[in-house]
Amino acid sequence: MSSSAITINQIMIIFIIIAVGIICYKVKLIDEATNSKLSNILLMLVNPMVIFVAYQREFSSELLEGLLISLLLSIVTHVVGILIASLLIKKKKRENLRIDNVVIKKYVVNPDAEVERIQCIYSNVGFMGIPIVNGIFGTEGVFYVTASITIFNVFLWTHGVIMMSGSREWNIKSMLKKLLSPSIIAIVIGLLCFLFQLMVPKVIYQAFSYIANINTPFAMLIAGVTIGRTNIFKILVKRRIYYVTLIKLIIIPMLLLFIFSRFAIDEKVFITAVIMAAAPSATTGILFAIKYEKDSVLAAEILTVTTLLCAFSIPLLVKLAGLV
């Protein structure tokens, strides 16, 4: 089965679980408080387990080379995302004003520029990226995803904070503290185990694997509950959201696909990097919008639409990646 066919199959599974999550919220089986606790379990326990298990493999120079290339591709992904978002999402936007039945095109201040940009630049590499890549390439794919998670956190707690706060003053000590998340700690420990071939006993590995295996259903149930909290039909008529979605799901990943295809890169590393770039907007954008008093509802709406439409865009991009 081709990578694109596997991707479509995996996304269908994911969206069935998302639909179950929406139903669970609508029938009040999972409320916002429960969803918040599930999110914490996923971020603090399950995701780190997925990452650690991915590093429990025999050392090979090919894997290490793929990981280093993945780090470089992730840096390029974020730099390109920042440049494209800054270019296409301006501080001012055009609006059509109707005065005495006369339509006047006028540029007005765009108060949502920062929210739109952060939702274009930062992808849901943990919730969506890991399950999709894991479904296609297994733990080896997750091994390469860890590079994206690392670079995501570095850029988010530097560029993301500066952009959303509107201040170029940021505390290095505070940033380093934020970077010490369970996922980053799992990457460091896992990488050391990989480099020095420190293998945990089989019974512990199996226990960790069982916990890691609940990542996809957990993540997708949480995504479903998040989507269930929004008015989907009301969101789908907002044209501006489609513009932001076009940038996030098509323009940025297509440009990156073209750039990456110019180099001789291992297929798994290449397609994993494309999927990371094409993943929907990060849930962190909502949290940052709340923290810096921006429009968190808009951030959630963009997250919802990009999550729904990535079911079509990701398989297309994977298919294109397999052709170049």
Closest listed residue to residue 123, CA positions, set 296, 271, 306: 306
Whole-number pLDDT of residue 13: 83
Render pLDDT for 216-245 as a digit per residue (tens, 0 to 9).
Answer: 788 778 878 878 887 777 787 888 899 999
User: What DSSP state is assigned to residue 169?
Assistant: -
Q: DSSP 3-state assignment of 271?
A: helix
284-291 helix and 296-323 helix, angle to the nearest 10 degrees: 150
CA distance 228 to 220: 12
CATH number for the region 3-323 comes to 1.20.1530.20
Whole-number pLDDT of residue 100: 61
Closest listed residue to residue 271, CA positions, set 69, 9, 29: 69
Contact 149, 51 (CB under 8 A): yes
DSSP sequence for 42-73:
IIIIIHHHHHHHHH-S---HHHHHHHHHHHHH
CA distance 33 to 1: 41
The first and second tokens of residue 268, run together, are 């798994």
Q: Which residue numbers in the chain have pLDDT < 70?
A: 1-4, 92-107, 167-172, 174-175, 178-179, 324
Whole-number pLDDT of residue 239: 85
Whole-number pLDDT of residue 105: 67
Query: For residue 10, how far is the Cα from the chain centroid?
Result: 16
Residue 240, H or E segment: helix 239-246
Q: What share of the chain is helix, strand, coil (3-state, %, to 5)?
A: 75, 5, 20
CA distance 159 to 157: 6
Burial class (CB in 10 A: 0-12, 13-18, 19+), 265: middle
267-278 helix and 252-260 helix, angle to the nearest 10 degrees: 160
What is the distance in angstroms between the CA of the first residue and the CA of the last residue of the chain? 18
Contact 252, 81 (CB under 8 A): yes
Whole-number pLDDT of residue 103: 61
- Residue 20, C-beta contacts closer than 8 angstroms, at least 6 positions apart: 221, 224
The first and second tokens of residue 321, run together, are 């990646």
Whole-number pLDDT of residue 93: 66
CA distance 278 to 319: 13
Phi, psi of 101 (to 5 degrees): 65, 15
Q: What's the pTM?
A: 0.81
- ∠ Cα 68 307 44 (to 5°): 60
